[in-house]
Amino acid sequence: MATDIQKGPHAMTTATHTKRPRATLGELVYRFEGTLAEMYPIGVFPEGIRFHNRFDGTVVAGPFAGGRIFGPDLFLLRRDGVGEIHAPEVIDDGTHRVALDVRGYVVPPPGAPVPPLEALLDPSFEFPDVPFRVTGSALATTAAPEYQYLNRATIVIEGHVNLATGELAVEARAVERNAEIC
């Protein structure tokens, strides 16, 4: 069934579509626990305050369990209090290496006050000792034959980070391909 949006020679129609099934999260790619190092401020820009920092952790579950995960985090804290993650990561379990391009958000807890960004440049500034939600996605690249499927997967990440203590815990799952969607 279609309906007219406007009349005339440039009329558009909308079609009624059936709902498509949503993708579901599948295989655990990794779960890691680690530490976020000192957040090194670069400066305040129109879009927010930029930080460079790094993290290091241990993969505690998944096929790379026991391995190390590490990398830089090019972090932007926006004026609304939400942080944008751009973290090129590496997993090294001693046998396999996987490069990850992680993009996502660090979301403050509901009701958390958002300080003026200039205040974060003060060396005495301290983030609140509360967990912030980490959510995002990653693309993987690996030469390991048994993990080649990761080179075609979208990986969803969820976890938390405490910006005061540096405590970081993240779980990553591959999105299952649904033949009805693809």
pLDDT at 180: 52
pLDDT at 6: 47
Number of folded domains in the chain?
Answer: 1
The mean per-residue pLDDT over the stretch 49-75 comes to: 96
CATH number of domain containing 60:
2.40.160.20
DSSP conformation class of 1: -
182 within domain boundaries: no
Taking the C-alpha atoms of residue 93 and residue 96, their distance in angstroms, rounded to an integer, is: 6
Q: How do residues 111-158 score in pLDDT, each as one tens digit?
A: 888 899 999 999 999 999 999 999 999 999 999 999 998 998 999 999
- pTM listed for this prediction: 0.81
| Residue 112 burial (CB count, 10 A) | 13
Asked whether the predicted pLDDT for residue 11 surpasses 50, the reply is no
Asked whether the predicted pLDDT for residue 12 surpasses 70, the reply is no
139 within domain boundaries: yes
pLDDT at 26: 85
Q: Which two tokens stand for residue 147?
A: 């993990």
Q: How do residues 45-54 score in pLDDT, each as one tens digit?
A: 999 999 999 9
- The pairs formed by 151-157 with CB atoms below 8 angstroms and a separation of 24 or more are 153/29, 155/29, 155/100, 156/25, 157/102, 157/104
Q: What is the distance of C-alpha 112 from the center of its chain?
A: 20
126 within domain boundaries: yes
